Amino acid sequence: MVLVSSGYSFILMALFYYWMDYKGHKKHLTWLKVYGMNSILAYMLAMTVDFSSIGHSVFWGLEQYIGPWYPVLITLTNVGILYGILWSLYQKKIFLRV
């Protein structure tokens, strides 16, 4: 299983390398760069800070109206807050180095 999954990963990496670096298709991929430059910080923030409490506070009382889509809204709020933090750090050129 390890060899199969690493083979798939290698094939995908080769395809994306060909598509982005060799062919030059870099449009609309800035969000990947923002996340990738501080990916360790993003992981640490997601594991230590509970951003879902902010989503629950902002959208309190909305659960009864959107029903099963409420967890999706909370997850999108988490992703948006985390991306906002990473974007502001990227703009200021602050990166976590290990």
Q: Distance between CA 40 and CA 36 in Å, rounded?
A: 8
Residues 85 and 50 in one domain: yes
Residues 42 and 87 in one domain: yes
pTM of the complete model: 0.76
Contact 26, 20 (CB under 8 A): yes
**Does 31 map to a domain?**
no
Residues 18 and 42 in one domain: no
Question: What's the pLDDT at 72?
Answer: 94
**Does 66 map to a domain?**
yes
Residue carrying the six token digits 């809204």? 73
Residues 78 and 57 in one domain: yes
Question: What's the pLDDT at 29?
Answer: 84
Residues 61 and 18 in one domain: no
Residues 17 and 59 in one domain: no
Question: What's the pLDDT at 28?
Answer: 84
Token output for 68: 């099963």
Residues in the chain where the model's pLDDT stays below 70? none
Sign of torsion over alpha carbons 34, 84, 87, 29: positive
What range defines the domain where residue 11 resides?
Answer: 1-26
